[in-house]
């Protein structure tokens, strides 16, 4: 592994060490509750939870569209099963946030149609660079998502870790799976993609913009 690769791995390991139960689909205003915590529609910080669920739903939707684009190009190649396995996990993530959207009555971002197109285009476009390009995209996106999830974990821990216990469990689990995808990308030659450092930086800048907009609109 290159020095850059070793640095990336060490950095992501620090992310891991930084600081589920299904939810009911609906309930009364005060009755929507995670099973063992005090998290209800009345007791939570609605503004913070709305932002978290809305942006995470948008992010998981975008990730699904990226993997769909990659599979459209590389699905019949030797790396197809690897991409499909990661995509299947992202489908589970999106399903959970769909449930959370309903349970906590959070509206989706108005930018969903845009992320639909942009996500697929990013996945397909990087896959056209070859396996390495697709994996470079995976590394860039999953690293950004892991950092974002860590920020959310920190926010909820500072506010009330007991109240938000199950939501924290969901976010931690998904963060760890995103980090697994990141590592898979490195293992499948992401750093051999054309202009890897530039490509990664551009994608991560786009991720930062997407996170900012999806939290607010």
- Residues making up the annotated binding site for Fe cation are 60, 90, 93, 142, 178, 181
Q: Rounded to the nearest 5°, which phi and psi values hold at 56? A: -70, -40
User: How far is the C-alpha of 52 from the C-alpha of 46, rounded, in Å?
Assistant: 10
H-helix or E-strand spanning residue 114: helix 112-127
Place of tokens 């290159």: 2
CA geometry: angle 141, 146, 147, nearest 5 deg: 100
The dihedral built from the CA positions of residue 204, 206, 207 and 209, taken in this order, carries a sign that is positive
Annotated binding site: 60, 90, 93, 142, 178, 181
- Inter-residue contact 96 to 170 (CB < 8 Å): yes
CA distances (Å), 211 to each of 44, 56, 151, 208, in order?
22, 9, 12, 5
- Inter-residue contact 124 to 69 (CB < 8 Å): yes
- Inter-residue contact 135 to 190 (CB < 8 Å): yes
């Amino acid at each position: 592994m290159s020095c850059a690769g070793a640095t990336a791995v060490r950095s992501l390991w620090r992310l891991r060490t930084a600081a589920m139960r299904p939810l009911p689909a609906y309930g009364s205003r005060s009755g929507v509750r995670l099973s063992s915590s005090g998290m209800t529609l009345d007791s939570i910080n609605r503004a913070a939870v709305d932002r978290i669920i809305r942006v995470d739903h948008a992010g998981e939707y975008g990730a699904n569209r990226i993997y769909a684009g990659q599979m459209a190009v590389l699905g019949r190649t030797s790396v197809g099963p690897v991409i499909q396995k990661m995509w299947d996990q992202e489908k589970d993530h999106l399903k959970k946030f769909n449930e959370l959207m309903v349970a906590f009555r959070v509206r989706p971002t108005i930018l969903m149609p845009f992320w639909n197109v942009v996500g697929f285009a990013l996945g397909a476009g990087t896959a056209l660079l070859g396996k390495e390009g697709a994996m470079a995209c995976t590394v860039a996106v999953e690293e950004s998502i892991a950092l974002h999830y860590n920020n959310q974990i920190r926010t909820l821990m500072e506010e009330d870790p007991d109240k938000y216990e199950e939501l924290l469990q969901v976010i931690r689990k998904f963060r760890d799976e995103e980090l697994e995808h990141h590592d898979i990308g490195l293992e499948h030659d992401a750093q051999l993609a054309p202009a890897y450092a530039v490509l990664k930086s551009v994608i991560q800048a786009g991720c930062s913009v997407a996170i900012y907009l999806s939290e607010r609109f």
